[in-house]
Amino acid sequence: MPAAPSRVEADIPDTDILGPGADILDVLIVGAGLSGIGAARRLQRRCPGKRYAIVEARESIGGTWDLFRYPGVRSDSDMYTLGYDFKPWTDAKAIADGPAILRYIRETAQEGGITQHIRFGLRVRSAEWSSSDARWTVTAERAADGRSVVLRTRFLYMCSGYYSYAEGHRPRFAGEADYRGIVLQPQFWPDNLDYSGKRVVVIGSGATAVTLVPEMARTAAHVTMLQRSPTYVVTRPSIDRLARWLNRRLPRGAAYRLARWKNVLLAMFFYQLARRRPEQMKKRIIEMARAQVGPEFDVDTHFTPRYKPWDQRMCLVPDGDLFERIREGRAAVVTDGIECFTERGVKLASGDELPADIVVMATGLKLNVMGDVAVRIDGRACDLGATLAYKGMMLGDVPNLAMTFGYTNASWTLKADLTAGYVCRLLRYMDRHGYAVAMPRRDPGVLPQPFLTFTSGYVRRALAILPKQGSRRPWAVYQNYLLDLFNLRYGRIADGVMQFGAGAKS
Ligand SMILES: Cc1cc2nc3c(=O)[nH]c(=O)nc-3n(C[C@H](O)[C@H](O)[C@H](O)COP(=O)(O)OP(=O)(O)OC[C@H]3O[C@@H](n4cnc5c(N)ncnc54)[C@H](O)[C@@H]3O)c2cc1C
């Protein structure tokens, strides 16, 4: 667990954040990404009297969609479900470019008057709950001068994403120091890199690799996707024809809602089909790849994974762009291990060498939990990896704290929206009944299980630090929008597990 900053240079009661005459916030949201902005918008609408602020470690809104700047960065789920339920997505493209998503998030913040609630350049390092006065004391480090800012809040709402912004997963290979070309990580893409006419090797086979390869192949001399093992790659049209048709005929909100539901239900249908009839689904996906990539291509080696569909996240390619670049001969896939780097490129386990001017390590994210914030409860350190998630969004025996963790098999925002709605219901319930504290009481009879069941490397590497889930309601994490909709939007707040307390009068 990360430690709290050892050197507190100043304890600044930030009146700028709290507002004049106040010394405590009702809700502190951590993170101004897709989730944090959505959470604030919901809070403003459903709990208009609440005094809230957002603290954001970076100097800008958008999180993921501001951080990632590699060529072609885009969503890999459709914007009718990755968009907020309260703000229709109106661009033509359903599979949208990163900059368009960033504009959408900024617009939401601007329209809702949320931007003025954000304090940028403040990284939360620790949060300490005190039962005696029913509040969190949150310590954040100010980027500008490294000084500590202390904030007090009744409710802490973590919208800090799920991975480290400081580092990605970066394996090291023998001989890297000898390599004469450029080695890059997608998370830290340099401005103005000119790769036209260059030979590029992209190491990896996940969402980032399948985005980068076709985009770079437009102008590079050649791009090779070098993968240790294959992934399921599925084509989807970048434009949703039915959604466009609805848009022309119905009011914007109605068209968006229908398109959203259509995509929610279709995604759930295909997910269920994949889990119930994996062999049939696998055959179909591979046939589709074969049809697009051409008869000469070795689909069995390069596009036939050893695992079942949805044991790991599927990779989506809009309009089959990856397959098209392969057909054109501008891109290739090599499935092999890496022996070492050489002066000229990458030497493979098979003995072949791939010459490269640029090597991109699309080797994945490094997951983290709750923005690496060190949590303490009444003076005791709380090991988040040992906690049990309640409805996949609060933690057993941790009071007045919610976190956003989206779906792995559907758009993140679907769960983020439901979580925000539940938090507002909970806060309103507490107000109606005069409660200051809400805490899911952990049931010792519920056995902890992994929070995520994906077999992907980035998930397995993080299982120890992620909270756990239980085998039954309300401790089970459902990767299922309909079940969560029922539980979070309509389920009872006082369900016998959630315990309430009056707290201190303040
Ligand atoms: C390249 C890429 C493509 C993706 N495409 C999709 C997709 O198509 N569909 C999908 O569903 N999901 C996708 N995802 C997952 C994606 O991250 C989520 O969809 C969504 O953007 C997450 O939003 P968030 O606000 O929860 O987290 P983030 O976008 O990660 O934002 C978190 C914010 O919290 C801030 N923060 C973190 N810790 C602290 C702290 N301690 N103190 C202060 N601030 C802090 C960060 O600076 C950041 O601004 C993608 C992810 C990546 C990396």
Give the helix/strand (H/E) hosting 351. none
> What is the band of 453 on the pLDDT scale with cuts at 50, 70, 90?
confident
Residues 6+ apart with CB under 8 A from 98: 65, 68, 69, 73, 74, 75
Residues 6+ apart with CB under 8 A from 290: 297, 299, 303
Predicted TM-score (pTM) of this structure: 0.94
CB contact burial 422-457 (16+ within 10 A = b; e otherwise): bbbbbbebbeeeebbbbbbebeeebebebbbebebe
> What is the band of 459 on the pLDDT scale with cuts at 50, 70, 90?
confident
* Predicted pLDDT of residue 454: 84
CB-facing half-sphere around the CA of 420: CA atoms within 13 A: 26
168 CB near ligand 1 (under 6 Å): no
pLDDT digits (tens, 9 = 90+) for 292-343: 998 889 999 999 999 999 998 899 999 999 999 999 999 999 999 999 999 9
φ, ψ of residue 502 in degrees (nearest 5): -75, -30
- Which among 466, 436, 342 has a CA at the least distance from the CA of 26? 436
- Which among 347, 331, 70 has a CA at the least distance from the CA of 220? 331
* Predicted pLDDT of residue 69: 96
Helix axes 241-249, 252-276, angle to 10 degrees: 160
Helix, strand, coil shares of the chain, percent, nearest 5, are 30, 25, 45
From 56, 65, 158, 160, the mutation candidate for ligand 1 (largest count of ligand atoms within 8 A of CB) is 160
How close is the Cα of 405 to the center of ligand 1, in Å?
10
Number of Cβ within 10 Å of residue 288's Cβ equals 17
Give the span between the Cα atoms of 32 and 122, in whole angstroms: 11
Give the span between the Cα atoms of 94 and 411, in whole angstroms: 12
165 CB near ligand 1 (under 6 Å): yes
pLDDT digits (tens, 9 = 90+) for 28-54: 999 999 999 999 999 999 999 999 999
Give the span between the Cα atoms of 371 and 276, in whole angstroms: 35
CA quadruple 373, 27, 19, 504: dihedral sign: negative
More confident residue, 457 or 493: 493
82 CB near ligand 1 (under 6 Å): yes
> What is the band of 229 on the pLDDT scale with cuts at 50, 70, 90?
very high
204 CB near ligand 1 (under 6 Å): no
pLDDT digits (tens, 9 = 90+) for 8-20: 444 444 556 666 5
Distance from CA of residue 225 to its chain's centroid?
Answer: 24
> What is the atom index within ligand 1 of the atom nearest the CA of 95?
8
Number of Cβ within 10 Å of residue 295's Cβ equals 7
> What is the atom index within ligand 1 of the atom nearest the CA of 31?
34
* Predicted pLDDT of residue 41: 98
420 CB near ligand 1 (under 6 Å): no
159 CB near ligand 1 (under 6 Å): yes
CA quadruple 190, 31, 457, 177: dihedral sign: positive
From 141, 157, 167, 412, the mutation candidate for ligand 1 (largest count of ligand atoms within 8 A of CB) is 412
404 CB near ligand 1 (under 6 Å): yes
142 CB near ligand 1 (under 6 Å): no
DSSP helix/strand/coil, 27: strand
> What is the band of 23 on the pLDDT scale with cuts at 50, 70, 90?
confident
How close is the Cα of 368 to the center of ligand 1, in Å?
11
> What is the band of 22 on the pLDDT scale with cuts at 50, 70, 90?
low
